[in-house]
């Protein structure tokens, strides 16, 4: 097999998680979890409640340090880097319980996402130099583009928390995309969405992937996961139970027993 073929079969990972462990008091939330997220893929993380999925995202974004193990993002060791530094490197996220900036409009929420892509400081803001004005104009037009991208352009001036619940999830995605990420971590983006919204979410995820952003998706909605994912990793009690293509995982006996149940087991692979 030549090098080119090898690369096509296994694209370089954008994110490597190596043997991470994390415990909270007596609870072992993550126990020796290792996996690679290939660049340009949609990689899903599933598992029962309390399996450690959100904890894993938090370790990647730097909300707290791992007890052991390491996270590598495109050849950069993330250990010891603060959360805000990781955003500048290209890691963005959304939250399981939506965390919008409630005092701000929809547009302003996305503008906050442009923080890492703009530079003006205290003095620049007060002096309002031409550079600051230009930067602000650019940020606004990029923010409007992103609102368009997720279908919220018409809601730009509404207060963010006045949006219907489903739209708030889309806004969180637009806000995260505004930071210009290479990888986007989504924590249960379909929870609380109705069927129509879920299918437009699936389309949106595809669109995001096509734009060159890798996706790490935590999700309970199995039909969504099986539809959009390239690879799926199953966590159970903080341990890796299985990893593979959606078909492989759906057919895995251990996964069926621990999480999926008989009725959701792999039908036609």
Partner 1 sequence: MRYLFFIAAVLAAGFLTSSPYKLQLLTFIGINTLLALGLNMLMGYTGQISLGHAAFYGLGAYTSGVLTVHYHWSPWLGLAAAIVLAVAAAFFIALPLLQLSGFYLGMGTLGFGMIMFVVFRQMSLTGGDSGLVGIPGLFIGPLSLDSPRNYLFFVWAVAIISIFLCERLIHSRIGRALRAIHDSERAASSMGIDTGKLKVHIFVLSAVLAAVAGFLYAHLVSFISPSSFDFLVSVRMVTMVVIGGMASIWGSLLGAAVLTVLPETLTVFSEYEMIVYGLVLIVIMILLPQGLFRGVLDIYERAGSKAGKASARSQG
Ligand X SMILES: Nc1ncnc2c1ncn2[C@@H]1O[C@H](COP(=O)(O)OP(=O)(O)OP(=O)(O)O)[C@@H](O)[C@H]1O
Which residues are near ligand X by CB under 6 A? 24, 27, 29, 47, 49-55, 96
CA-derived radius of gyration, the chain: 19
Those residues whose C-beta lies under 8 Å from the C-beta of residue 20, and which sit 6 or more positions away, are 30, 32, 33, 34, 56, 59, 66, 68, 69, 70, 71
Q: Residue 121 touches which of partner 1, ligand X, Mg ion, none (CB < 5 to 8 A by kind)?
A: partner 1
Report the sign of the C-alpha dihedral through residues 66, 53, 71, 63, in that order: negative
Answer whether 182's CB lies under 8 Å from 91's CB.
Answer: yes
Counting contacts by CB under 5 A, is residue 236 touching Mg ion? Answer: no
Nearer to ligand X, 21 or 116 (CB): 21
Q: Is the dihedral of CA 98, 103, 107, 111 positive or negative?
A: negative
CB of 260 to ligand X, least distance (A): 14
List residues near partner 1 by CB under 8 A.
61, 63, 82-84, 87-88, 92-93, 95, 99-105, 108, 111-116, 118, 120-122, 124-126, 128, 132, 135-136, 139, 159, 162, 175-176, 178-179
Cβ closest to partner 1, residue 159 vs residue 237? 159
* Per-residue mark of binding to Mg ion, 93-132 (x: CB under 5 A): ---x------------------------------------
Separation of alpha carbons 11 and 61, rounded Å: 23
Among all chains, which residue has been given the structure tokens 């993002």?
73
Pick one of ligand X, Mg ion, partner 1, none as the site partner of residue 114 (Cβ within 5 to 8 A by kind). Answer: partner 1
* Minimum CB distance to ligand X smaller for 40 or for 50: 50
Q: Is 252 exposed, middle or buried (0-12, 13-18, 19+ CB in 10 A)?
A: buried
**What is the closest distance, in whole angstroms, from the C-beta atom of residue 188 to ligand X in the complex?**
7
Q: For residue 130, give both structure tokens.
A: 């031409």
| Binding partner of residue 61 among ligand X, Mg ion, partner 1, none, CB cut-off 5 to 8 Å per kind | partner 1
Least distance CB 89 / ligand X (angstroms): 23
| Nearer residue to ligand X within complex by CB, 90 or 238 | 238
Choose the contact partner of 83 out of partner 1, ligand X, Mg ion, none; CB within 5 to 8 A by kind. Answer: partner 1
Residue 6, both tokens: 């090898």
For the record, the structure tokens of 47 come out as 């598992």
| Binds Mg ion (CB under 5 A): choice among 31, 41, 44, 54 | 54
Shortest CB 62 distance to partner 1, Å = 8
- How far is the first Cα of the chain from the last one, in angstroms, to the nearest whole number? 27
- In the bound complex, what is the minimum distance in angstroms from residue 144's beta carbon to partner 1? 16
Q: Which does 7 bind (CB under 5 to 8 A by kind): Mg ion, partner 1, ligand X, none?
A: none
Q: CA 232, 236, 240 angle in degrees (round to 5)?
A: 55
* Closer residue to partner 1 in complex, CB, 169/175: 175
Q: Which two tokens stand for residue 199?
A: 């299918």
C-alpha to C-alpha distance for 226 and 249, rounded to whole angstroms: 9
Residues near Mg ion (CB under 5 A): 54, 96
């Amino acid at each position: 097999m030549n090098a080119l073929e090898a690369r096509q079969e296994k694209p370089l990972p954008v994110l490597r998680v190596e043997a991470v462990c994390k415990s909270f008091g007596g609870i072992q939330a993550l126990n020796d979890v290792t996996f690679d997220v290939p660049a340009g893929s949609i990689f899903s993380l599933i598992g029962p409640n309390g399996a450690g999925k959100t904890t894993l995202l938090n370790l990647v974004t730097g909300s707290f340090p791992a007890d052991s193990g390491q996270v590598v993002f495109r050849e950069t060791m993330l250990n010891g880097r603060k959360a805000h530094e990781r955003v500048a490197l290209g890691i963005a996220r959304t939250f399981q319980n939506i965390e919008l900036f409630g005092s701000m409009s929809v547009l302003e929420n996305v503008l906050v996402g442009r923080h890492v892509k703009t530079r003006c400081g205290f003095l620049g803001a007060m002096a309002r130099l031409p550079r600051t004005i230009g930067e602000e104009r650019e940020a606004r037009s990029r923010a409007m583009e992103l609102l368009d991208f997720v279908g919220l352009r018409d809601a730009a001036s509404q207060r963010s928390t006045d949006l219907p619940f489903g739209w708030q999830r889309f806004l969180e995605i637009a806000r995260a995309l505004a930071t210009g990420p290479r990888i986007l971590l989504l924590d249960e983006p379909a929870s609380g969405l109705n069927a129509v919204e879920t299918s437009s979410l699936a389309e949106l995820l595809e669109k995001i992937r096509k734009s060159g952003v890798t996706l790490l998706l935590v999700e309970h909605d199995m039909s969504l996961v099986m539809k959009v994912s390239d690879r799926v990793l199953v966590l159970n009690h903080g341990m890796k139970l299985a990893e593979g293509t959606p078909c492989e995982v759906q057919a895995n006996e251990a996964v069926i027993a621990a999480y999926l149940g008989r009725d959701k087991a792999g039908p036609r692979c």
